[in-house]
Structure 1
Amino acid sequence: MSPVPHPPQRPPGSRILASLGLPAPEPIAADASPHSFPDGGRWRTEIPSVEGPEALDTVLREADRLSVPVHRVSQGSGVWMLTDAEITEMVRAAAERSVELCLFTGPRGTWDTGASTRTESRGGGPRARGHGAVVGCVEDAVRATSLGVTCLLVADEGVLWTLHRARTAGLLPPDTTLKVSALIGPVNPAAYAVHERLGADSINVPSDLTPDHLTEIRRVSRAPMDLYVEAPDELGGYVRMYETAELIRRGAPLYLKFGLANAPALYPSGAHLRETVLSTARERVRRGRLVLDLLARLGAGDAMSPPGSRLPGPLCRFPDDI
Structure 2
Amino acid sequence: MLFGRHFRLKTDHQPLLRIFGSKKGIPVYTAYRLQRFALNLLLYDFDIECVPTHKFGDANRIVKHVKPDEDYIIANINLEEDLRAVAQSTQADPLLRKVYHHIQHGWPQSEHSESDIQRFQARQESLSVVDGFIMFAERLVIPSLHRKRCLEQLHCGHPGMQRMKALARSYVYWPSLDADIVNFVKACQHCAAVARSPPHSSPVPWPKQTAPWQRVVVDYAGPIEGEYYLIAVESFSKWPEIIQTSRITSAATISILGGLFARLGMPVILVSDNGTQFTRAEFADFCASNGVEHLTTAPFHLQSNSQAERFVDTFKRAVTKIREGRGSIQQALDIFLLT
TM category, shorter: under 0.3
Q: Which has the larger radius of gyration?
A: 2
**Larger RCO of the pair (alpha carbons < 8 Å, separation 6+):** 1
TM-score (norm 2): 0.23
Structure with bigger helix share is 2
Structure with bigger strand share is 2
